[in-house]
Amino acid sequence: MQVTKRSVKNDWTLFTLENDRGMSLDVLDFGGVVTRLTVPDRHGKSENIVLAFDDIDDYKKNKPYFGALIGPVAGRIQQAMFTLGEKKINLKPSEGRHELHGGEAGYHQKLWNVESFQTDTEVGVVLQGSWNDRAYNYPGSVQVTVTYTLTNDNEWIIAYQAITDEMTPLTLTNHTYFNLTGDRTHSIAGHQVQMKSEGYLELDEELIPTGLIDSGNGGPFDFSRERLIKSGSGSGHKQNQVAGDGYDHYFLLKKGSAEQVRVKEPTSGRVLSMETTQPGVVFYTGNGLNEDFVLSDGKKAKKHSGFCLEAQGPPASLHHKGLPSIWLKPGEEYKHQTVYRFSMD
């Protein structure tokens, strides 16, 4: 087990976490961005399984949010507004009429204070930041701590903690794109997904939840049994078409379930399991990726060359009743954990 660090462009620092089983994780202090995650396949060959930019300067914009920490509110806030008591709060739109992933105030654009740690069984980094984003109309000053831990059990654990001095919406996630083949330009169509879900949030034409929870039973949104990603991206189902011929939907997870999401790639044998304390996950299949994004090794991204499992609370709860709340009050602590576990089949 070891942690190393080195200076890179823009006076940023890149931390490399390595365990004793051939797995490693590279993290930038800028945006908490994961730039590399190497995992062995069934033959013991370690390959990078996440999408990252070839030019580190591209993280200054990071339009696809490769590997980034997302906040203060992950996801889309309808019409870039919400109400706090009787007061209407208007944010700055960043995607059409809506705000996406914190907009210009997003945590993916912040320089975090980072400290590393190491024990006999795990290594990691602790990212800390304290921000007042009133310039973008978010209420309160928020203190955030995010810990990335790599274990000898081939687990990447993300622990989130935050407090605020004013009531404010907050839900954090990580936006890493995975491709378990080890070839980041290879389609994820053949990945097999299984999920313990209560249903998903229906989207309108602008990718905003309508408030309707659809059980998805029997169709391309039913992951109670293993389902190929391509069975949804090529289904012709209206909700797949709305999302750009794939998935970009919030799934409500069954409470207390172990291994809530399982993704298997048959060729490499790699398996990714996810468990989280969050109430749900956005399953996104890279529908907006294209060759404008140059990946590491000079390869170009393609549609469906990566998928995301963004464990988080639903920002739709700011506009629709009956969904888990994302409000954080003074005196309360935001505390969640997501575990990505890697194995072989």
Mean pLDDT to the nearest integer, 30-43: 97
- Band of residue 296 on the pLDDT scale cut at 50, 70, 90: confident
Count structural domains, the chain: 1
Q: What is the pLDDT of residues 250-294, one digit of tens each?
A: 999 998 888 999 999 999 999 999 999 999 999 999 999 999 999
pLDDT of residue 258: 86
Q: How far apart are CA 246 and CA 256, in angstroms?
A: 28
> Which tokens hold the place of 216?
């998805």
Predicted pLDDT at 136: 75
Kindly tell me if the per-residue pLDDT of 141 is higher than 80: yes
| Beta strand ranges found along 186-333 (DSSP E) | 192-195, 197-203, 209-214, 227-228, 248-253, 261-264, 270-276, 280-284, 308-312, 327-328
- What number is the average pLDDT over the span 309-333? 98
- Known catalytic residues are 175, 310
Report d(CA 343, CA 41) in Å as an integer. Answer: 8
Structure tokens at 93: 């739109």
Using the predicted structure, report yes or no on whether residue 233 has a pLDDT greater than 90: no
Residue 12: give its domain's CATH number.
2.70.98.10
The pLDDT confidence band at residue 135, using thresholds 50, 70 and 90, is: low
Q: Which residue range forms the structural domain that includes residue 142?
A: 2-344
User: And the tokens for 262?
Assistant: 């399982």
Q: Could you give the percent of the chain with pLDDT greater than 90?
A: 91
Give bridge partners of residue 312 from the DSSP assignment: 280
pLDDT higher than 70, residue 80: yes
Please check the confidence at residue 134 and state whether its pLDDT lies above 80. no
Query: Percent of the chain beyond pLDDT 70?
Result: 99
Q: Which two tokens stand for residue 14?
A: 């890149």
For the full predicted model, state whether its pTM sits above 0.95.
yes
- pLDDT above 80 (res 130): yes
pLDDT at position 4 over 90:
yes
